[in-house]
Amino acid sequence: MNTWDKVPGMVVHEREPYNAEPPGAALAGRPLTPVAAFYSRNHGPVPDLAPERWRLRVDGLVERPLELSLDDLRRCFGQTEVTATLQCAGNRRTGLAAVRDIPGEHPWGAGAVSTARWSGVRLAEVLAEAGPRPEAAHIAFSAPDVSEVAAPPETYGGSVPLDKARSPEVLLAHTMDGRPLPRVHGAPLRVVVPGWIGARSVKWLTRVTVSDRPSDNYFQATAYRMLPAGAEPGPGEGVPLGPLAVNCAVLTPGDGDRPPSGPVPVAGYALAGEGRTVARVEVSADGGESWTRAETDPAASPWAWQHWRTTVELPPGETELIARAYDSAGAAMPESPAAVWNPKGYANNSWSRVRVRCRG
Amino acid sequence: MNTWDKVPGMVVHEREPYNAEPPGAALAGRPLTPVAAFYSRNHGPVPDLAPERWRLRVDGLVERPLELSLDDLRRCFGQTEVTATLQCAGNRRTGLAAVRDIPGEHPWGAGAVSTARWSGVRLAEVLAEAGPRPEAAHIAFSAPDVSEVAAPPETYGGSVPLDKARSPEVLLAHTMDGRPLPRVHGAPLRVVVPGWIGARSVKWLTRVTVSDRPSDNYFQATAYRMLPAGAEPGPGEGVPLGPLAVNCAVLTPGDGDRPPSGPVPVAGYALAGEGRTVARVEVSADGGESWTRAETDPAASPWAWQHWRTTVELPPGETELIARAYDSAGAAMPESPAAVWNPKGYANNSWSRVRVRCRG
C-alpha cells in the first residue's frame, strides 16, 4: 500500500495536497470502486478530526440553529444508503490540455471518477430539523482544510441551491462501502451530492449554512466555474459548475497498450447527466467512420455510472479507439476537445480516444 | 389569420393532422411566443370537447379514483402559473435529414419550439388527492385524438416517471397566456411537462393513470424513442425520450436572407437541459475558427428559453453563420449533425447553421 492506503498503481499528481487517480484497469468492470483505488482530490492538507470531539453546526437563515455530534446524526435521523459516482470537474483534463496548455491545473486522465456506497443522513432531514427561513435559497458547506490555491489562503467550501440540497439523494455521509469514512475521504463526515461535480461533495464537513445566496468561498465564487475561452478567473466570472454532463471513457486497453491483433476486448464507463440515463455507448476503430454498439451494464442506482464492453477486430500496427455515449435526452459527447476547451480545463466530455499498437 | 387562428406566415408541414411551425422572425426576441405563432404538433384530428361535459379521470394504482370537472380543478386545488418553453422532439430535424433521409417524418426547422405562460393545477396536488399506492412508478396520460400513425390506429398517450410528475413545475393547464386554452393547443385541459420533449405534454387530457410501468401507448413504447443508427422502430426498441438537452438556433437572419454587408445583427434562442442554465452562446462567421460571445437575456423562469443577440461583421457574398450554446454542466452542442443522426430524427442539437448572401 501507498500513501493514504491507496493501491500502488495510483497516478499521483501531487503528494501534498494529495491528488491521485487510479489506473484505468483498477476501475474497469467494477460497479463499485475499491476504497483503496478511489480517486482523491484535495485542496489542502488532509485534516485529522477526532470523531468524538467533532460537531456539525447548522446555522444561517434557520429557525433553530443546531449543533450535532456524530452520535446525534446516527441516532436522531433516519439512515440512508445511496450508491453514487463522484466525478471531479477536472476529469479527462489531459484531453483539453492537448489542445492548449492549462497551466496550474493537474493533468487528470480518465480516472478522476469513482463509485461507492455512501451511508448517512439525508441533508433534507437535517435542514428540516433546523427549519430554513423563507429567504433560504442556497446551502453552503464549510470544512477546515486550508487551501493555498486561494490568495490569501482560505478554508475549503462551496454551496448548492436549496432544491438540490433537499433532494433525497444528497447525503451527509459517515460511511463508505460499509465502513467509517477513511480520513482522506473526509472523516468523520462529508457531503455527497450525486450527479454534481465532486467539488460540491465537501469533505471534513463542520458547518452547513443556510443562505439567500451562493457561497462566497473561493471554490464556489472563483474556481470551479466555466469560463469562456480567453476569460481570466475572478470572483463571479463565468458560471458555477454543478450538474455533470454525459461522459464516457475507454479504460482498457490503456493508451499505449500493445495487445495482440485480432479481436480485442474494449471496456470503459459511461455516466448520464442528472435525471437522465445512458442511452447507448459506441466504439469506433476507424476514426469514426463506423461504430460498434457496446453492451452496457445496468446502473447500480440512478446516481451511478454504467460499465460497458465490446470487442473490436484490430489489425497489426497503430489504431485509435474512440468511444462516445449518448444520454436519454439525446445529448451527445462532442467530437473534438477544442469545442469544449476552457481556461481551467473543466468538464471535458469530448469523445474518449486511446491509441494502441497491436502486435502482428 | 390562417387555419386554427395562426399567423399567415406559419410553415405548415401537414394540414390534417395540423402540423405547423412559425417562421424564425415570429419567435425572435420575444420571451413569450404569441399564441397565434405557437408551433402546433398533432398526431390526429383536433378533438372538439365541450368543457361543461368534459371530465378528468384519475385512476390506476390509487387509493381514491377521482373524476374531476373543470370547475373541480379550478375550485378545489391551488392555481399555479409557470412560464415554460415546449420543444418538439423533432425540432431542427432538417439538419439531420440533410445527413441522411428520414422518411415519413415532418421536416421541422428550428421553429418547433415556443414559450407561454401556463396556468392550472399542479399534477402533484391531484395525485396527492388520489393517493398513489406504494407500487406507483409512472404516470400515464391519455387523450381522445386518434392517430393513424400507429397501426392499428390508436388514441394519443404517453407517460412520465412519478418523480417528474410530482415536480412542482408539472401542470394540468387550462389557461395559456391568461386565456382558456385554444382548441388546437389542447382545450379544455392539457399536461405541461417543462424541460421534457413536447410529446409528453399531452393535449385534450381525459385520463391520468397511475401505474407501476411506463405507458404502453404507441407514442411512448414505439415512437419518441432514441434509436441507434441502423435500428428499426418497434415496441421497446431504443430509449424513451424525456428531458431536453442544451440547444440553440439562429432565428434572424434566416437561411437565404440577403442583408447588406457590414455589421449584421444575429439573434436566436437557447435552451438548457433540465436543472441547468445556459452558460453562454457563441456565434462564428468563419466556419468555427473564431467565436463572438452573444448577449443573453435572463430566462423568464428556470423552464424557459433565453433569447440572445450579437452583431457580426460580414463581407459581401456568401457566409455561413454558426451558433452554439453551452449549459451550466459544461455540456456542449455537437459540431456535426452526423454525430447525432438517428433513424427517427429526434433531438438534433448540433451547431445551428444559417447561410446568408450579403449585398456588396
pLDDT in tens, A145-157: 999 999 999 999 9
What are the boundaries of each domain within chain A? Answer: 247-358
With vertex at residue B275, the alpha carbon angle to CA A307 and CA B186, rounded to the nearest 5 degrees, is 110
Q: How does pLDDT run across A330-357, given as a tens digit for each residue?
A: 899 999 999 899 999 999 999 999 999 9
pLDDT at A158: 98
Distance CA B184, CA B146 (A): 14
Chain B residues lying within 8 Å of A346, measured CB to CB? 330
CB atoms within 10 A of CB B165: 25
With beta carbons less than 8 A apart as the criterion, state whether B347 and B226 touch.
Answer: yes
Mean per-residue pLDDT for A112-135? 98
Chain A partners within 8 Å of B327 (Cβ): 245
CA nearest B205: which of B233, B246, B236, B173?
A: B173
* Confidence at residue B2, expressed as pLDDT on a 0 to 100 scale: 56
d(CA B141, CA B209): 7
- The widest CA-to-CA distance across chain B, in whole angstroms, is 71
Query: Distance between CA B170 and CA B121 in Å, rounded?
Result: 9
Mutate to test the interface with A, among B280, B289, B306, B308 (most CBs of A within 10 A): B280
Residue A2 has pLDDT above 80, yes or no: no
Minimal CA separation from B52 to chain A, in Å? 38
Q: How far apart are alpha carbons B243 and B170 in whole angstroms?
A: 13
User: DSSP string of B66-81?
Assistant: EEE-HHHHHHHS--EE
pLDDT surpassing 70 at residue A27:
yes
- Contact between B332 and A339 using a beta-carbon 8 Å cutoff: yes
Q: Return the closest-CA partner of residue A280 out of A298, A271, A293.
A: A293
CB contact under 8 A, B328 and A274: no
- CATH placement of domain A247-358: 2.60.40.650
Contact residues, chain A to chain B, C-beta under 8 Å = 89, 164, 226, 228-229, 238-246, 273-277, 279-280, 282, 291, 293, 324, 326-336, 339-340, 342, 346-347, 349
Residues of chain B contacting residue A226, judged by C-beta atoms under 8 Å apart: 279, 326, 328, 330
B265, B311 contact by CB (below 8 A): yes
Question: How far is it, in rounded angstroms, from Cα A141 to Cα A233?
Answer: 22
Q: Which of B129, B214, B235 is nearest to B164 (CA)?
A: B214
**Taking Cα atoms as reference points, which of A319, A315, A259 lies closest to residue A284?**
A319
Place of cell 383536433: B46
Mean pLDDT within A207-232: 93
3-state secondary structure of A238: coil
Tell me the average confidence (pLDDT) per consecutive run of 10 residues in chain B, 360 residues long: 84 96 96 97 96 97 98 96 98 96 96 98 98 97 96 96 95 98 98 98 98 97 90 86 96 96 97 89 96 94 97 96 94 92 95 95
Instruction: Answer whether A228 sits within 8 Å of B331, measured CB to CB.
Output: no
pLDDT digits (tens, 9 = 90+) for A47-75: 999 999 999 999 999 999 999 999 999 99
A327: chain B residues, CB-CB within 8 Å: 245
Q: What is d(CA A139, CA A212) in angstroms, rounded to the nearest whole number?
A: 9
pLDDT at B330: 87
Q: Tally Cβ neighbours within 10 Å of residue B7.
A: 16
Q: Are B334 and A334 within 8 A, CB to CB?
A: yes
Q: What is the pLDDT of residue B1?
A: 44
Q: What is the spatial distance between Cα A306 and Cα A301, in angstroms, rounded to a whole number?
A: 9
Is the pLDDT confidence value at A142 over 90?
Answer: yes
pLDDT of B265 reads 97
pLDDT of residue A1: 44
Strands A66-68 and A80-87: unpaired
A337 to chain B: closest CA residue: B332
* Interface A-B: count of C-beta contacts within 8 A: 119
CB contact under 8 A, B330 and A339: no
**In the 8-state DSSP scheme, what is residue A351?**
P
What is the pTM (predicted TM-score) of this model?
0.86
Q: Is the pLDDT of residue A219 over 60?
A: yes
The residue of B224, B226, B291 whose CB has the most chain A CBs within 10 angstroms, and thus the best one to mutate to test that interface, is: B226
Q: Contact B325/B280 with Cβ under 8 angstroms?
A: yes
Relative to beta strand B207-211, strand B56-60 is parallel
Interface of B with A (CB under 8 A): 89, 164, 226, 228-229, 238-246, 273-277, 279-280, 282, 291, 293, 324, 326-336, 339-340, 342, 346-347, 349
Which ipTM value was assigned to this complex?
Answer: 0.75
Inter-chain CB proximity A226 and B328 less than 8 Å = yes
* Range with lowest mean pLDDT among A97-111, A308-322, B35-49, B325-339: B325-339
What's residue A330's pLDDT?
A: 87
Contact (CB<8Å) B239/A277: yes
Distances (CA, A) of A347 to A243, A343, B332: 10, 11, 10
Contact A347 B336 (CB under 8 A): no
**Maximum CA pair distance of chain A?**
71
